[in-house]
Amino acid sequence: MRKVTLLSSTIFVGPGLLSGGGEGLGVGVAGLTRAFILTDRNCRPYARPVERLLKESGIETLTHALPSGEIQKSPAVAGRLHQQMARFGMDRKSALFAVGGGVVTDLGGFVASTYMRGIQVYLFPTTLLGQVDAAIGGKTAVNLPQGKNLVGTFYQPVAVVCDPAVLKTLPEREYVSGLGEVVKYGMIRDASFFDYIEKNVAGIRGRDPQVLDEIVHRCVAIKADVVTKDEKESGERAILNYGHTIGHALEAAGNYKTLQHGEAVAIGMEAEAILSMELGIAPLEVLAAQNRVLKLCGLPTRAKKMPMKKVLTALKLDKKNILGRTRFVLPEAVGKVRWGVEVPDDLIAAALRTVTA
């Protein structure tokens, strides 16, 4: 097991932390009055070790399993959870334990951060996307019909427990989707990691335990370093949004049903690399290298027949917009990006036509 410190959080990475029965969960729960475990129906088996730890510690515990799916990340669901926690008697010495993918950890973090103005939260991500990105860094959110993650907070968990061994049970599409965020880390910050991904594609696609442990740890370390320097995204943390400006718009345009998040990010990275090339920021070789690794990982670089009008409408609601102007993170080279770049509307439309044709 390896530990990464991120501000007030400790992130634990190691195989067997959940899948091994929970003996090595590593989190301290002394002093808690009550615990609310939030999970989804697919992840219920991974919530049991957490439940057992809490009950053996004498903590009154309530578990709630949601249906799976992005639709659960809504203000309405959050409100119902707040009410359930209040009925259970949760107070400011209680804690929420979120066990599941990015939907569960985003929603759980948001609910914990807003209940009684903030109670402790522990995250146990069970997807690749959750372990390398969604559960790391303290961003919480729910969606609105107009766009993704438009309501949220910055709120650091007490601990995040990442067990790469649980990734073996992920459906193939969901696993591959998570690789979109993995490739992103190589593109934004670490060319050597980008090379590692390309050289170890067979192990990644085959879910080799050692390779999975390495990529989760390296992604966590990169994100922890970025967030520690800029927790509230006033500067450098913006680089983590590479591929997300267009990616989120694609998700919204497909009503969060057509594309999984990592798939949308991969297509967004392709479009944003095209923008960078058109603006003369990055050479063609950067787009080609990124495209090659995305395809080796099994990720899409096109969203065929996506309605352009809906994508452009969703772009206008991007949280990084200032005075109605869309701002992008664009690559300069593998391992280096530039943030806060304004792009002319005609170039945005042209890049979108390329990736949605």
Q: What is the pLDDT of residues 294-305, one digit of tens each?
A: 999 999 999 998
Work out the average pLDDT over 138-155: 91
Q: Does the annotation count 233 as an active-site position?
A: yes
Of 51, 241, 251, 270, which is the active-site residue? 241
Is the pLDDT reported for residue 22 higher than 60?
no
Of 51, 214, 237, 270, which is the active-site residue? 237
Indicate whether this model's pTM tops 0.75.
yes
Of 148, 174, 248, 270, which is the active-site residue? 248
Work out the average pLDDT over 157-176: 95
Q: Does the annotation count 44 as an active-site position?
A: no
Q: Does the annotation count 64 as an active-site position?
A: no
Q: Per-residue pLDDT tens for 180-194? A: 999 999 999 999 999
Q: Does the annotation count 87 as an active-site position?
A: no
Which positions ≥6 away from 7 have C-beta within 8 Å? 138, 156, 227, 228, 231
Closest CA to 51 of 31, 36, 32: 36
Of 181, 263, 270, 272, which is the active-site residue? 181
Q: How many CB atoms lie within 10 A of CB 347?
A: 13
Of 51, 223, 270, 272, which is the active-site residue? 223
Of 261, 263, 270, 272, which is the active-site residue? 261
Of 117, 304, 305, 309, which is the active-site residue? 117
Is the pLDDT reported for residue 255 higher than 80?
yes
Q: Per-residue pLDDT tens for 54-86? A: 998 899 999 999 999 889 999 999 999 999 999
**Is the Cβ–Cβ distance between 212 and 19 less than 8 Å?**
no
**Is the Cβ–Cβ distance between 193 and 185 less than 8 Å?**
yes
Q: Does the annotation count 237 as an active-site position?
A: yes
Closest CA to 258 of 226, 306, 302: 306
Span between the terminal Cα atoms of the chain, in Å: 45
Q: Does the annotation count 248 as an active-site position?
A: yes
* Per-residue confidence (pLDDT) for residue 318, from 0 to 100: 74
Instruction: For domain 2-169, give the CATH number.
Output: 3.40.50.1970
Q: Phi-psi category of 243—alpha, beta or left, where left has phi over 0 and alpha has psi -120 to 50?
A: left
Is the pLDDT reported for residue 323 higher than 60?
no
* Per-residue confidence (pLDDT) for residue 147, from 0 to 100: 77
Of 233, 251, 270, 272, which is the active-site residue? 233
Q: Does the annotation count 255 as an active-site position?
A: no
Is the pLDDT reported for residue 104 higher than 80?
yes
The domain locations on the chain are: 2-169, 172-205+231-356
Is the pLDDT reported for residue 23 higher than 60?
no
Q: Which CATH superfamily is domain 172-205+231-356 in?
A: Dehydroquinate synthase-like - alpha domain (1.20.1090.10)
DSSP H helices in the chain: 44-56, 75-88, 102-114, 128-129, 172-189, 191-199, 201-205, 209-229, 244-253, 261-278, 284-296, 308-315, 345-356
Q: Does the annotation count 244 as an active-site position?
A: yes
Distance CA 291, CA 217 (A): 24
Is the pLDDT reported for residue 28 higher than 90?
no
Work out the average pLDDT over 37-66: 94
* Per-residue confidence (pLDDT) for residue 234, from 0 to 100: 85
